[in-house]
Chain A
Amino acid sequence: EPEVTQTPSHQVTQMGQEVILRCVPISNHLYFYWYRQILGQKVEFLVSFYNNEISEKSEIFDDQFSVERPDGSNFTLKIRSTKLEDSAMYFCASRPVANTGELFFGEGSRLTVL
């Protein structure tokens, strides 16, 4: 069964450093998302992406964040200057063009900012 894959599974970084989290959505999906989950809290929406542009973004997704689809398969989340409060699990998700509504999540990338 096709899956959303994410790398790295865990990244430790120093405050102020740039981080890039990578995702490979399921190949026939057209809608892509990034969510984050701070330890023990709910899953929070960051940004959605469709047709090579951001569709929606939340208040969390400020100027420090950016997303890119540099080629036909990868979908990346960049945090320019990490802060301690960026420590969280970041989930990539994708959805097919059919209106099933279901989001397929990756395994997540745990980011630890020291």
Chain B
Amino acid sequence: GENVEQHPSTLSVQEGDSAVIKCTYSDSASNYFPWYKQELGKRPQLIIDIRSNVGEKKDQRIAVTLNKTAKHFSLHITETQPEDSAVYFCAASDPNSSGSARQLTFGSGTQLTVLP
């Protein structure tokens, strides 16, 4: 099955700096890569996702890049703010497998702390 590795496990940045979190995946059939933000005690919430037919996607201060050849993808947060502090999880999935509800396989998470 799919295996997703994520690093770093913790990341501290100064407010206003950029943060980068990286993930690798093992299953070349995976073609959907979401990033979830989880605040303490809350549900994971989707912040951005990318499909394998695209190399980069941007949404305001958040961007994701995907290298299918190398099987890795990254989350970039620019101009970080204290409210960006949370645990971020990457995930991979092949949601288009016919007849099956392919699940997400999550990375181990990155605790991002933005210092004011």
Contact = CB atoms under 8 A, between A and B. Distances in A.
Interface of A: 31-33, 41-45, 48-50, 55-56, 91, 95, 99-103, 105-108
B70 interface: no
Contact of A101 (B34, B45, B89): B34
Contacts of A55: 100-101
Contacts of B105: 45
Interface of B: 32, 34, 36, 42-46, 49, 51, 89, 93, 95-96, 100-109
B77 to A, nearest CB: 20
A95 B95 contact: yes
Query: Which secondary structure characterizes the binding site on chain B?
Result: loop
A97 B38 CA distance: 25
Given A95-B95, A108-B43, A103 B104 contact: yes
Nearest to B106: A43
Contacts of B102: 48, 56
Given A91-B43, A105-B43, A107-B42, A45 B103 contact: yes
Given A102-B34, A102-B46, 15 more contacts: A33-B101, A42-B89, A42-B107, A42-B108, A42-B109, A45-B106, A48-B100, A48-B103, A50-B100, A56-B102, A99-B95, A101-B34, A101-B93, A103-B104, A106-B43
A91 B91 CA distance: 16
B95 A44 contact: no
Contacts of B104: 45, 103
A97 to B, nearest CB: 10
Nearest to B107: A42
Nearest to A43: B106
A102 B49 CA distance: 8
